[in-house]
Amino acid sequence: MNQTSVWLDVATSHVHSGLECARYRTLALGSWRIVMVAVEQFSGNDTPWEAFNERELARAEGMPVNKRRHEWLAGRYAAKVALRSWQTFDRVDELSAITIENSNRACNKGQPVASIKEAYVSISHSWDVAVAVVSAAPVGVDVEKLRAFSPAAEDMAFTASEKGRDSIISPGGERRWLTLAWCFKEAFMKAHGRGVFGWFHDLELQRIDQEGRLTWKSSPRLHRQLGRAMGLAGYGVAVDGYGVVVVGTPISPLTVGLAGGAR
């Protein structure tokens, strides 16, 4: 996929009502729009505090590790910006009215749940960036810095076929295909409200075409575990030193608003 074609909105700084929002970029992957923000914007005096409500600010303040607090704020901000398209808000302080909790249910513990009923949301962070995506149907997103994997990590996470595909290793040692395969597995499982550990070898990334569309196969064991099939599609790209993958149920504009439902 041509990297310049994936950015819809590059480094946009919005000013509303005299309050400056954090900069964000919007990445087009298939029919999904991924909002990406730099975590460093949430580590200092320029943090757009107006975007968060008191409960969120208290939660952030209670996080003892700075890195976790900054990435959490960045992920929440990206999700709020993505969710804004579901409502008519356009002022940064109104972002505080959009809340995102994490599920406490055993079947999808930790999954972000937005205060906007029709919207499914997914969040991911890695090193300097956080991303979020919103859809009217289940969706998962994952971002990972392009990196090398130890032999033990490769054996744990990838099938022989996946390892064989990544024959081109960059001078810095980054494994582009394998990083995208990792992102794919995480995004697929997030779309089901689950973590990937224990399931790495039940998903195999087979192909990424010119448009970034993914082809994969999954094991009968995983099918049995997940129950119903969701008719998923996935897209991925390596951009600016990161792999980004989204997996979800594709939604046509006509069905938006009809696909919500109880979660």
Ligand X SMILES: CC(C)(COP(=O)(O)OP(=O)(O)OC[C@H]1O[C@@H](n2cnc3c(N)ncnc32)[C@H](O)[C@@H]1OP(=O)(O)O)[C@@H](O)C(=O)NCCC(=O)NCCS
Residues near ligand X (CB under 6 A) are: 72, 75, 102, 107-112, 122-125, 142, 186, 190, 193-197
Q: Name the residue nearer to ligand X (CB basis): 96 or 124.
A: 124
Q: Name the residue nearer to ligand X (CB basis): 47 or 124.
A: 124
CB of 135 to ligand X, least distance (A): 13
Q: Name the residue nearer to ligand X (CB basis): 173 or 195.
A: 195
CB of 6 to ligand X, least distance (A): 19
Per-residue H/E/C for the chain: CCHHHCEEEEEECCEECCEECCCEEEEEECCEEEEEEEHHHHCCCCCCHHHCCHHHHHHHHCCCCHHHHHHHHHHHHHHHHHHHCCCCCCCHHHHHHCCEEECCCHHHCCCEEECCCCCEEEEEEECCEEEEEEECCCEEEEEEECCCCCHHHHHHHCCHHHHHHCCCCCCCCCCHHHHHHHHHHHHHHHHCCCCCCCCHHHEEEEEECCCCEEEEEECHHHHHHHCCCCCCEEEEEEECCEEEEEEECCCCHHHCCCCCCCC
CB of 23 to ligand X, least distance (A): 20
Given a contact cutoff of 8 angstroms between Cβ atoms, the answer to whether 237 and 127 are in contact is no
The strand pair at 214-218 and 203-208 is best described as antiparallel
CB of 11 to ligand X, least distance (A): 22
Given a contact cutoff of 8 angstroms between Cβ atoms, the answer to whether 101 and 263 are in contact is no
CB of 70 to ligand X, least distance (A): 11
CB of 259 to ligand X, least distance (A): 18
Q: Name the residue nearer to ligand X (CB basis): 6 or 129.
A: 129
Q: Name the residue nearer to ligand X (CB basis): 109 or 217.
A: 109
CB of 121 to ligand X, least distance (A): 8
Q: Name the residue nearer to ligand X (CB basis): 72 or 89.
A: 72
The CA-based dihedral angle spanning residues 219, 221, 224, 229, taken in that order and rounded to the nearest 10 degrees: -10
Instruction: State phi, psi for 126 to the nearest 5 degrees.
Output: -155, 125
Q: Name the residue nearer to ligand X (CB basis): 142 or 202.
A: 142
Q: Name the residue nearer to ligand X (CB basis): 70 or 84.
A: 70
CB of 102 to ligand X, least distance (A): 5
Residue showing the smallest CB distance to ligand X in the complex: 195
